[in-house]
Amino acid sequence: MAITFNADTTNGAVITSDTSGEIELQANGVTKAKVTANGLQDANGNSLRGGSFRNLLINGDFNVWQRGTSFSPTSALYGADRFQSLAGGGFNIDSTVTQSTDVPTGQGFKYSLDIAVDTVQTPTGSNNGGFGQFCETQNFYHLAWGTSNAKSLTLSFWVKSNKTGIYVCQFKQNESGTEYYILKEYTINTADTWEKKIITIDGNTSQSFDVSANGDGFRMMWWLASGPDDYATKDVWIAGSGYRATSNQVNLWDNAANYWRITGTQLEVGSGASDFEFLPYDVQLQRCQRYYYKIASLTSQGLGCVGFVYNSQVGVMTTTFPVQMRIRPTALETTGTASDYSIRYLATITVSNTPPSFYTASLQAADVQFYVPSTTLTAGQACMSRAATDSAYLAWSAEL
């Protein structure tokens, strides 16, 4: 019980008390909110802490998939925006990662991320296989880590797997003066059933976030396999680097039929988990585009670049990024097939003979070179990029 304030329809205000140190707000005898040592909560114990953008993870509900919706990683590889499959020590994470519509019922999620094992693998030595998000340092300054006021963090997520047992989450303060990590175990209790997990860690009072503002300052990692050389102690901050798990970590790759699904990942300040914060799609997309931006187009439609004819076979074209990138991109990604691309010059559209290539990039814009075989272009004239097929895309990465 607790001190209760009950707005009763018969008796009016009814106040009862005990020595629990908690307060309950009731409407006609039904608890609506509680104040506990963990703060303001609803009747089920969920935190009622408000505030927009409280989720330190981006795309936590797996709504944004700019790169595609199916991937086949054997080593580290990005899939859903901001999230990547992780591999350490050369471990072969042979799996298929897909966008799944299997989600916990009634929670408001549209997608989960599914990792399906393709071949059996046994982690040895310093092998690791997992999944995670690397986070920009400057989004963590307000945690006041490295001081006596270091704030706690709470991770909540929904998970489902056919393989029950103990799994490990690694919270890693990365690229700091001294790197630190803390390991937390969670258990998948029932096979093939969505379960919500909530994990709270104390703030790290020993180390501040002192790497570059846009650097790789914090890593949230879910391990699915680990070799014995990387076993470490759980529940305490440890000064050290690398990928770590406990000796209890199951091996998801012990059967080619195993899968692991996750959605609703939220990392927030405080010692309680609030309801998942759903952001509008356009807001979430823009947050993702700071790290990866893809222009995809359809046949005969523009590809977002306009510029000038450099010589009879080359057009140099510029596109502006929708948000400032984290760093200047150093590469351009394309389909690799020249015939997916074309140049429009006056009334003529000429299909490329070489895929577009990187030229320059700033935080706000990029220049791309398009190529055509003909000698009909006239230097100095204007031109624009066109998709020659539905497959065409241009993409720039500024990931951590």
Contact residues toward other proteins (CB under 8 A) are 310-311, 314, 330-337, 354-360, 369
Three-state helix/strand/coil letters over 94-161: CEEEEEECCCCCCCCCCCEEEEEECCCCCCCCCCEEEEEEEEEHHHCHHHCCCCCCCCCEEEEEEEEE
Going by DSSP bridges, is the β-strand pair 238-239/393-397 parallel, antiparallel, or unpaired?
unpaired
Nearer to other proteins, 5 or 308 (CB): 308
Return the ∠ at Cα 212 (arms to 394 and 326), rounded to 5°: 20
Three-state helix/strand/coil letters over 53-89: CCCCCCCCCCCCCCCCCEECCCCCEECCCCCEEEEEC
Residue type at position 352:
S
Nearer to other proteins, 232 or 377 (CB): 377
- Taking the complex as a whole, the smallest distance from the CB of residue 89 to other proteins amounts, in Å, to 16
What are 374's two structure tokens? 């003909």
Nearer to other proteins, 154 or 397 (CB): 397
Evaluate whether 210 touches 178 at the Cβ level (below 8 Å).
no
Please tell me the distance from the alpha carbon of residue 390 to that of residue 388, in angstroms, as a whole number.
7
- Taking the complex as a whole, the smallest distance from the CB of residue 330 to other proteins amounts, in Å, to 4
**Coil vs helix vs strand at 393:** strand
Please tell me the distance from the alpha carbon of residue 227 to that of residue 237, in angstroms, as a whole number.
20
- Taking the complex as a whole, the smallest distance from the CB of residue 332 to other proteins amounts, in Å, to 5
Nearer to other proteins, 62 or 292 (CB): 292
- Taking the complex as a whole, the smallest distance from the CB of residue 88 to other proteins amounts, in Å, to 16
Nearer to other proteins, 67 or 160 (CB): 67
Nearer to other proteins, 57 or 309 (CB): 309
Residue 117 CB-half CA count within 13 A: 22
Nearer to other proteins, 24 or 340 (CB): 340
Nearer to other proteins, 96 or 339 (CB): 339
- Taking the complex as a whole, the smallest distance from the CB of residue 357 to other proteins amounts, in Å, to 4
- Taking the complex as a whole, the smallest distance from the CB of residue 339 to other proteins amounts, in Å, to 11
Evaluate whether 128 touches 230 at the Cβ level (below 8 Å).
yes
Backbone φ and ψ of 227, nearest 5°: -80, 160
- Taking the complex as a whole, the smallest distance from the CB of residue 336 to other proteins amounts, in Å, to 3
- Taking the complex as a whole, the smallest distance from the CB of residue 230 to other proteins amounts, in Å, to 22
